[in-house]
Amino acid sequence: MKDKIIHKSADMFLNLGFKSVTMDDIASEMGISKKTIYQHFTNKTKLVEATTLQVFEFISHGIDCICELEKNPIEEIYEIKQFVMLHLKNEKSSPQYQLQKYYPKICATIKKKQFEKMHGCVSQNLDRGVSQGLYRKNINVEFTARLYINGMMSLKDQDIFPLENFSMHVLMDNYLEYHLRGICTIKGLEKLTQLLTTNH
């Protein structure tokens, strides 16, 4: 039952926002009593914490599976973006924004985990791109990885990119192209152009 509650809550939180969804909403959606939820989670904060961790673990595992395929690094970046977009449903509301505002401690913990995960992933991608001649040999991997992650995180900042003016999908596409054009060799740019042509 605990897993079912986490699963349903994750779906509702990501679609409607962490603040908007109440324990009553979850109970009625699942056809159970609120008491049943409280048997597993003493309060909503505990439920939000369990849910965000579960979503993080799920997405991390998905990213690991994509990286294990060892596609060319440019394709890999786009595959990861597609996977994350599919599961984070960032279009309808901004769950990240509500999480930051109402659950800052949980948000800080998740951000730290996200940074560690992305740092490993992006650094590997950059190393592989350089060794395959797709990214420039002289890029500073540590600097580029941190800059990329920081930029990616700031896409979710509604003060900089208000949702009504920027769809998350377009933002991500523009950002990936911006990042890759800055680090690709001629060979890499050919791959990128090929990929963008196929995707559009």
Q: What confidence tens digit (pLDDT) does each residue in 111-164 have?
A: 999 999 999 999 999 999 999 999 999 999 999 999 999 999 888 888 898 888
| Confidence (pTM) | 0.87
Annotate 53-89 with b (16+ C-beta within 10 A) or e (fewer).
eebeeebbebbeebbeeeeebbebbbbbbeebeeeee
SS3 of residue 135 by DSSP: strand
Centroid of chain to Cα 75? 17
Q: What percent of the chain has pLDDT over 90?
A: 78
For domain 2-199, give the CATH superfamily: Tetracycline Repressor, domain 2 (1.10.357.10)
pLDDT for residue 92 is more than 80: no
Residue, of 8 and 90, whose pLDDT is higher: 8
